[in-house]
Structure 1
């Protein structure tokens, strides 16, 4: 693993993001770091959590759930530090702040995604529809491939220019829908827009940055290998909890009497003044764990 590798957006990539609602990048993290995270997938989905802490969402368990569904864990960074070493990176935080026009970035949520061979679609949606428990409802997401992706392998697909469309609600069928484009077609018709899907085809460690309003989803994995990825869903460092909307999972971290987000659960990964949540250095170096000891 190259500890000195640091990602930085070019002016052209920033312009492409604002024009299209996303920008595909061939290398966001070092491939060795991607491989280390990949090695953690089997233990994670088997319930072996390196830090001893359950993730906030564990949507697929062996022997319980349909094997053709995409497997998902949310906030795996709390359960495994090899996942955390990607989603909490300072350079990813800086890139998201640059694209979002923010003074800094905090991690709102992560996804650990595993689409098996033959895995069914994920419905096309906007991430911002799932972030109404926070203010502003505004994400920039960084999706990092851990396997080489192909168009026929159920890779992530994004709809060019759809970040300019109105904000939709949560879709009715997210995991394994028969028609993953159902609500996308309705949204495009309301916008009198043409649907132009762009598949993300990158090597391990590459990926895409996209707006929380950009419509995206994925099709069936017709390849002979799985498609695995991690996603950092980032928001502005100034984000707070909504006082009007309750998220049934993430609003549990809101303290009574304040809308402030606690950095223990939503750490700041980069800020323009050089600040980064102090806990991150100790946590990522394994100097301390969730119990406060090594």
Structure 2
């Protein structure tokens, strides 16, 4: 990672629970990923596989909702080349203090003009099904962001608060800060909200306990992003806790996480799931 993870970056992450990484994606990455959004949300999946979650579909869901697909990497290799990259894995592993990082879940997020908010939450509230529990998340923007455009917002230092259970409404809540205020009151902490205003290609790495959400998009341009929620390379399934979606990939009588579904992106000893090289080099199928 060179100077990308110098001491100031690490100190900021530890203090604030998030840190900005400039120019993680180049212009070619950005253009290629943008081109895949419309086909994906129209159900044109390049690999032929449906994603694990497809939370917005044209003609079914309101136009003013943020559009989300989870594990788009399984459906589209252009998305996969970005979210499964070794540099994403190394950033998350090194900031998380892990020996390596594996993919837990990705998000393909599209907030068009007029789209409503996403409620504040902690990612780790949804990470009870693995041991050790806990995400480090890399959020990568494909568009220049603005506070008025529904950019991601963080509560500075909130990774040091207690972990809360899933709270409130996630999609289009009336008050997207409500759960944050409740958590702050419970923790006896003051709230400092930081809207992330960055350029396309920039990224933010955040701790799984950092409270975050986003407001409505009041701009005339979309806000598109890709998100990699990484787990430790040593993560295993919890013996009793169940994710109603992701525990379907657990083998019977085996707590190991199959690298076919939770690939290792980077490990300090140089290991990376071997099948990734071939999968990511395959040319996209013609539409």
What corresponds to 2:167 in structure 1?
171
1:68 touches 1:118 (CA, 8 Å); kept in 2?
yes
Q: Any idea what SS the aligned residue of 2:185 has? A: helix
CA drift of 1:8 comes to: 3.2
CA drift of 1:136 comes to: 1.5
2:46 touches 2:284 (CA, 8 Å); kept in 1?
no
* 1:137 maps onto 2:121 in alignment: no
Name the stretch that deviates more: 235-244 or 26-35: 26-35
CA drift of 1:42 comes to: 0.1
1:195 to 181, 185, 191: 191
Q: What TM-score do you get using the length of structure 2 for normalisation?
A: 0.97
Q: What TM-score do you get using the length of structure 1 for normalisation?
A: 0.94
Q: Runs of 4+ in structure 1 displaced over 3 angstroms?
A: 5-8
Give CA deviations for 1:166-193 in whole Å, capped at 9, x if unaligned.
0111122000000111111111011111
What corresponds to 1:90 in structure 2?
86
Give CA deviations for 1:209-241 in whole Å, capped at 9, x if unaligned.
000000000001010011000000001000011
* 1:208 maps onto 2:217 in alignment: no
2:28 & 2:202 partners in 1: Cα distance?
12
Name the stretch that deviates more: 8-17 or 171-180: 8-17
What corresponds to 1:230 in structure 2?
226
CA drift of 1:47 comes to: 0.2
Give CA deviations for 1:249-291 in whole Å, capped at 9, x if unaligned.
00000011010000000000000100000010000001799xx
What corresponds to 2:177 in structure 1?
181
2:4 touches 2:21 (CA, 8 Å); kept in 1?
no
1:253 to 241, 249, 254: 249
Distance change in 2, residues 1:112/1:288 (3 Å): closer
CA drift of 1:7 comes to: 8.2
* 1:123 maps onto 2:119 in alignment: yes
1:56 & 1:6 partners in 2: Cα distance?
34
1:192 & 1:271 partners in 2: Cα distance?
38
* 1:265 maps onto 2:261 in alignment: yes
* 1:27 maps onto 2:23 in alignment: yes
**Cα RMSD after superposing both structures:** 1.5
What corresponds to 2:110 in structure 1?
114
2:48 & 2:258 partners in 1: Cα distance?
21
CA drift of 1:31 comes to: 2.5
What corresponds to 1:292 in structure 2?
none
CA drift of 1:206 comes to: 0.4
1:70 to 66, 69, 72: 66
CA drift of 1:10 comes to: 2.1
Give CA deviations for 1:75-118 in whole Å, capped at 9, x if unaligned.
00010011011111101111111110000000000000001101
Distance change in 2, residues 1:194/1:239 (3 Å): same
Structure 1, unaligned runs of 5 or more: 290-294
Distance change in 2, residues 1:186/1:89 (3 Å): same
2:96 touches 2:136 (CA, 8 Å); kept in 1?
yes
1:38 to 34, 37, 41: 34
